Chains A and B, each alone.
Chain A
Amino acid sequence: MDFEPRIVGFLCNWCAYAGADLAGTSRIQYPPNIRPIRVMCSGRVDPIFILEALKLGADGVLVAGCHPGDCHYQSGNYKAVRRVELVRKLLEELGLEPERVKFVYVSASEGRRFAEVVKEFVEELKKLGPNPLKVKR
């Protein structure tokens, strides 16, 4: 069977989640590999969430927030960018592919972009293969 990656998506309430919603209501097709989790702000995403998701076997983690300058809480998205960047660097040292974790900007009006982002990420993860931390059952 083909490998279908599982992605945990942390989507910010004000932009990315609304963008994903728009993708849905506009009936834009995108792969069903993402499991969205709504957070109030991408700045709420603790690095622990990302590490835990990977530990529990997620093949990829997507953190999506507002475009620069658009954050509902002024600077949450900037913090999220830096957190994700640091986590990626940490993963590299721990022998995991940093490409498994990604931060993207998606606004509430970018339903199509959200679909594109997920599609791309699924393709990238298919190339990387399953998360080596995944416990075989």
Chain B
Amino acid sequence: MIEKADIVFWPVAMDTKYKDVERMENKSIDFCFFNGAIRTSENEKLAKLLRKKSKYMIAFGACACYGGIPGLANLFDKDEIFKEIYIENLTTPNPKRIVPKEKVKVKEGDLELPEFYDVVKTLDQVVEVDYYIPGCPPPVKIIEEAFDRLLNGKELPPKGSVLAPMKSVCDECPFEKSKKKISGIKRIHEVDKVENKCFLEQGIICMGPATRAGCGAACIKAGMPCTGCMGLLPNSRDQGAKMISALASVLGIEGEEEDERKSKELIDQIVDLVGTFYKYSLPAAIINRRVIKRRR
């Protein structure tokens, strides 16, 4: 890669400053791989700056694409988060109840901090995004293929494409799939021995049916169910809703008769729906945050 491209900005590995980027000409960067969700005004400012300076903006990783695990913070608002972290946290003694402020006056002048937003946003909620490379982390094979396509002057896919396969994780899963019927929901730690068959058939929730392929079913091969890091399937608007749809089709089906109580019992066994179905994609979901009613 070093032979093909100059790296002009890479905060974790090079000592380049935002000022250096500001001095660059518009559209002078060919490809910008942006990782991380938009949590603070600093994130947003940098995303907008890099968008202006780059020909192609690529959301890199689950956070930039769909909000990622930090996106689950959308179950709380800024006040709740600050209260938990700075005031109620037992290991953070804070008798003066100080929480970060955007501006603080000290003797030497004003000190500024970026604004902490109420919600986590995905990259494409603040700037235009050309391509997406999902995954937590993006699988090496997917990155290699994407770099090959982008850096070797190959024909580029239509704008907005996700540079990953169009199939679901189930397609890459090594386990045999038979007709599914779930009679009890278990979490992975409640199972003594994982059998070599579809996790869903064993009653363990696996996000495979609602998740894009590209990882080679790495977690499943290592004995853990898919948690959905590759994000939404093509033509899907909402990863969690898709999983609900898939799960509802296989819950407790016994022939054709139906026992409503039984399926309700099963549904009650599922804990933490948002954390399970939207582990990496809450900010990109249709209802993308908890509705917090404020007292008027």
Give the interface of A toward B (CB within 8 A).
46-48, 51-52, 54-55, 68-69, 74-75, 78-79, 81-83, 85-87, 89-91, 93-96, 132-133
- Contacts A52-B237, A55-B286, A95-B291 given: A89-B258 contact, CB under 8 Å? no
Which B residues from 265 to 296 make CB contacts under 8 A with A? 267, 270, 272-274, 277, 285-287, 289-293
B245 within 8 A of A: yes
Query: Would you list the 6 A-B pairs with minimal beta carbon distance, nearest first?
Result: A82-B248, A95-B291, A47-B241, A95-B290, A51-B286, A83-B248
CB distance from A10 to the nearest CB of B (A): 14
B270-A78 in contact (CB<8A) = no
Question: In chain B, what residue has the closest Cβ to A47?
Answer: B241
B267-A48 in contact (CB<8A) = no
B274-A93 in contact (CB<8A) = yes
Q: How many A-B residue pairs have CB under 8 A?
A: 90
For the complex, count residues of B whose C-beta is within 8 A of A.
34
Rounded to whole angstroms, the CA-CA distance of A91 and B291 in the bound complex is 9
B253-A89 in contact (CB<8A) = no
Residue from B75, B240, B287 within 8 A of A54 (CB atoms): B287
A75-B256 in contact (CB<8A) = yes
B274-A90 in contact (CB<8A) = yes
Residue from B244, B285, B291, B293 within 8 A of A86 (CB atoms): B244
CB distance from A115 to the nearest CB of B (A): 24
Residue from B241, B251, B289, B290 within 8 A of A46 (CB atoms): B241
Rounded to whole angstroms, the CA-CA distance of A54 and B8 in the bound complex is 45
Give the interface of B toward A (CB within 8 A).
75, 236-238, 240-242, 244-245, 247-249, 251, 253, 256-258, 260, 263-264, 267, 270, 272-274, 277, 285-287, 289-293
Could you list some 27 contacts between A and B, CB below 8 A?
A46-B241, A47-B241, A48-B236, A48-B237, A48-B238, A48-B286, A51-B238, A51-B241, A68-B257, A68-B258, A78-B258, A78-B263, A79-B249, A81-B258, A82-B248, A82-B267, A85-B263, A85-B264, A87-B241, A87-B244, A90-B274, A93-B274, A93-B290, A94-B274, A95-B290, A96-B287, A133-B291
